[in-house]
Structure 1
Amino acid sequence: MAYTELDRERWVAEDPAHKRADRDDFARDRARVVHSAGLRRLAAKTQVLAPGHDDFVRNRLTHSLEVAQIGREFGAALGCSADVVDTACLSHDLGHPPFGHNGETALDEIASRIGGFEGNAQTLRLLTRLEAKRAHPDGTSAGLNLTRASLDATTKYPWARGEGPYETNKFGVYSSDLSVFHWLRDGAAPGVRCLEAEVMDWSDDVAYSVHDVEDAIASGWLDPRVLHSATDMSAVLDVAGRTYAPDLARDALGAALERLLASGVLPAAYDGSRGALAALKDMTSRLIGRFVLVVELATRERHGPGDLTRFGADLVIPDEARAECSVLKAVANHFVMTTDERLGILSGQRDVVRALVEAYAAQPESRLDADLRLDFLAAGTDDERLRVIVDQVASLTDVRALALHRQWGG
């Protein structure tokens, strides 16, 4: 199924003079995200370990670039527009606040009376409202004004809070942004993701499941010998079943671990030498190739040859691949994210987020960034004003959040 004019439509019609004849609509979308302030800010936002902790480990920007590399080739192999998938992958974490999912938890509590906070819903808000590129005739912002296909591809959870097709706290749109959500979902069945969004989501899962383990080993948080210990890995399997794959039996997760060990890709030891680093990089390459290829083959087996796009197909992820990916996620969770040391850091980060919201609310006209100050002054209700303050705190990098916290006496 080819991309249609509906797929290429933008929320606000643009002057044809702005469009180069030799440039595809979807390539323009990708360029707008690459040049966005939101993407640049990801360089100083937490992935797993905070920026500055180690020169090797990833931040949100490097993670997004790697997801885009995986997704671009994966999507193209299925017949998707490589630029649409690339745009979605680059954009998928734009809405994340400082301190990653930990900051997201704090902002969700603070914003509970106004519909909460969710990084995916914030991404849509950023792309369609907060980033400066195009405006509606009445002067209100249309954000980057991406095409319908690209916006829909970034929408991992195409529903409002509490309206998902399965039990989840995740959602992709705030009530204040429903107008653009309904526009971009024109022609889509409720709750059904387009293929490009599914490709983005699997590319993200693959990237962080593999790279978080690589970072944990390279930074010294994880001794790879424990990966071969039945006692240590029993706790990991508990985390995998509880947190990442509750629908899969423990035996299935245990079999996934056995397959990963039998494949020979997981290192037996790590000493930081160039040879050990090369082995670690080989692990990431082989695991990524393994996870992408098995899903590509399963999807082709169901849908056959030809270009697969939008709602003409769905991604097929075998349970075996999902189980292996879940085990790797659980490794980083158990050995890095939920250690006693990390839990203490996480608590302090949530305190910083709460203090910053209070500080901005105390002096909004002097402390808010200029664009958000105007949003605050134009807001008609306390709920709208709180949403602007949440937008401001969500935009902060880890570095700026900590600096402002110190400056304002936190």
Structure 2
Amino acid sequence: MVDDVTVNRSAVGAGVFREWFGCRQPHGSDPARSRGRLHPEPPSPTRTEFQRDRDRIVHSTAFRRLQYKTQVFVFHEGDYFRTRLTHTLEVAQLSRALARSLGLDEDLAEAVALAHDLGHPPFGHAGERALDRAMANFGGFDHNAQSLRVVTLLERRYAAFDGLNLSWETIEGIVKHNGPLVDAAGEGIGTYAAGVPASIREQDARYQLRLASWAGLEAQAAALADDIAYNSHDMDDGLRAGLFALDDVAGEVPFVAAIVADLRGRYPRLETSRLIHETTRRVITGLMERALAESAARIAATAPADADAVRAASSAMIAFDATAATAVADLRRFLFTRMYRHERVNRIMEDAADAVTRLFEAFLTSPKRMPPEWARAAARGDGEDRARVVADYIAGMTDRFALSEHRRLFDAAPELR
């Protein structure tokens, strides 16, 4: 995790930071004016509404399970590679830094960041693709929709309600942190061009989430922090795993090349491990500085009167400038070909995806193979409802539990090495 992301005020503009830094702005979300919770609760005497949301997410079962869920490398490949949990904490840290610098509510930005990956199944995107294929005839599987199911339904800790009963603003941020899901006519756009998942539609009917609008600035900050964190840190993990060398990255990503050249000029004898860390750190810092400058400029130009004016805007206000957007696109393209499609990673993830597929088929055919409470839930439904229960059960598994269940059912489990 980067522990010292610093903002270069000269790069952003001293005048901007005199106006923004450390001051709550009216276009940010105010916890005292939250739209409330689906199930009304008395206010906390010690915490704001968004602080309470953050704490409930941290104490949830789904959050703890992130420790043993794959980011790219499966859990046993080494404790120096990132998991879903360490990635989530890194996104939360960057989200807070963005929110603090722009005068937004840090706690809401952190809450959205901490919840954004709760719906990821075991084995990363390979597990998600396998579940989506298995659920093709039952509405599909989407990790964002699953995160929503976790916080509104699947966490069962409180006597008065299912889920975590989070505030409207946090729910909105989980659903829309990457932007609107539908156009003005209600038709799906972007990732959801083929249709918005039923789970999101159902919760929209309950919460009135305004799927055609942007989320608040805090959720936008969490989304941008996610882009910065996973691209830079996946690069770091790939370098440490030996999938490629720093010169390979520099050869295809000019933003990284400039950083590496500067470091080698300043520290010609720096050992490789520290060179990798310094490069990763400076990539994050550079992207953060440019994001802050661009975001502050967009907010100042638009001058939204309040958070609802942010939602009504025609485009995102927390965003990269052209240089940072190009850098992120270049890095993402490099990682796609050199890391996510690397023979070693692919071989492991194909086996992992096959394990998820076999688990789904086994539990759908014979729900009694699941624990009693899950078997009872599956027995109450049929068709899509039963399949959704099975998907919920598998999505909640850690990597190692999924392998344990596969071994229990089939007397064997893939090595994933």
Q: 1:168 to 1:189 in 2, by over 3 A?
A: closer
Amino acid at match of 1:295: A
1:213-224 mapped onto 2 (5 Å cutoff):
213-224=235-246
Q: Residues 356 and 405 of structure 1 are in contact (CA less than 8 Å); yes or no, is this contact kept in structure 2? A: yes
The match for 1:243 is: none
Q: Aligned-pair distance for 1:150?
A: 1.0
The 2-side partners of 1:174 and 1:145 are apart by: 21
Q: 1:215 to 1:13 in 2, by over 3 A?
A: same
1:351 aligned to 354, 364, 374, which one?
354
1:329 aligns with 2:352: no
Q: Residues 250 and 256 of structure 2 are in contact (CA less than 8 Å); yes or no, is this contact kept in structure 1? A: no
Amino acid at match of 1:73: A
1:398 aligns with 2:399: yes
Structure 2: where are the runs of 5+ without partners? 1-25, 311-316, 413-417
1:105 aligns with 2:129: yes
Q: 1:276 to 1:172 in 2, by over 3 A?
A: farther
The match for 1:143 is: 163
Amino acid at match of 2:34: D
The match for 2:11 is: none
Q: Aligned-pair distance for 1:276?
A: 3.3
The match for 2:16 is: none
The 2-side partners of 1:308 and 1:398 are apart by: 46
The match for 1:12 is: 39
- Deviation per CA, 1:170-211: give whole Å up to 9, x if none: 89963245342234345x461433322221111001001100
The 2-side partners of 1:36 and 1:171 are apart by: 32
1:184 aligned to 199, 202, 207, which one?
207
Q: Residues 249 and 256 of structure 2 are in contact (CA less than 8 Å); yes or no, is this contact kept in structure 1? A: no
Q: Aligned-pair distance for 1:344?
A: 2.3
- Deviation per CA, 1:277-322: give whole Å up to 9, x if none: 3332222222112111211111211222999974443223223211
More moved, 369-378 vs 204-213: 369-378
The 2-side partners of 1:171 and 1:315 are apart by: 27
| Structure 1 counterpart SS, 2:44 | coil
- Deviation per CA, 1:331-368: give whole Å up to 9, x if none: 32222221223222222122111110122123313x32
| Structure 1 counterpart SS, 2:71 | coil
The match for 1:236 is: none
1:233-244 mapped onto 2 (5 Å cutoff):
233=252
1:123 aligns with 2:147: yes
Structure 1: where are the runs of 5+ without partners? 234-256
Amino acid at match of 2:290: V
More moved, 122-131 vs 399-408: 399-408
Q: 1:265 to 1:96 in 2, by over 3 A?
A: farther
1:276 aligns with 2:272: yes
| Structure 2 counterpart SS, 1:52 | helix
1:260-275 mapped onto 2 (5 Å cutoff):
260-264=256-260, 275=271
| Structure 2 counterpart SS, 1:396 | coil
2:197 aligned to 168, 174, 195, which one?
174
Q: 1:189 to 1:104 in 2, by over 3 A?
A: closer
More moved, 56-65 vs 293-302: 293-302
Amino acid at match of 1:105: R
Q: 1:113 to 1:322 in 2, by over 3 A?
A: same
- Deviation per CA, 1:245-285: give whole Å up to 9, x if none: xxxxxxxxxxxx334312337877xxxx9943333222222
Q: Residues 79 and 308 of structure 1 are in contact (CA less than 8 Å); yes or no, is this contact kept in structure 2? A: no
The 2-side partners of 1:114 and 1:352 are apart by: 20
Q: Aligned-pair distance for 1:62?
A: 0.4
Q: 1:300 to 1:292 in 2, by over 3 A?
A: same
The match for 1:376 is: 378
The match for 1:248 is: none
1:144-163 mapped onto 2 (5 Å cutoff):
144-155=164-175, 156=177, 158-159=180-181
Q: Aligned-pair distance for 1:73?
A: 1.4
| Structure 1 counterpart SS, 2:77 | coil
1:205 aligns with 2:227: yes
The 1-side partners of 2:193 and 2:158 are apart by: 28
TM-score by length of 2: 0.80
Q: 1:178 to 1:258 in 2, by over 3 A?
A: closer
The match for 1:301 is: 297
The 1-side partners of 2:360 and 2:285 are apart by: 43
The match for 1:388 is: 389
Q: Residues 38 and 131 of structure 1 are in contact (CA less than 8 Å); yes or no, is this contact kept in structure 2? A: yes
Q: Aligned-pair distance for 1:53?
A: 0.6
The match for 1:241 is: none
The 2-side partners of 1:353 and 1:368 are apart by: 14
Q: Residues 182 and 211 of structure 2 are in contact (CA less than 8 Å); yes or no, is this contact kept in structure 1? A: no
Tell me the number of residue pairs that the alignment of Structure 1 and Structure 2 aligns: 371
The 2-side partners of 1:6 and 1:151 are apart by: 15
The 2-side partners of 1:286 and 1:100 are apart by: 27
The 2-side partners of 1:79 and 1:160 are apart by: 29
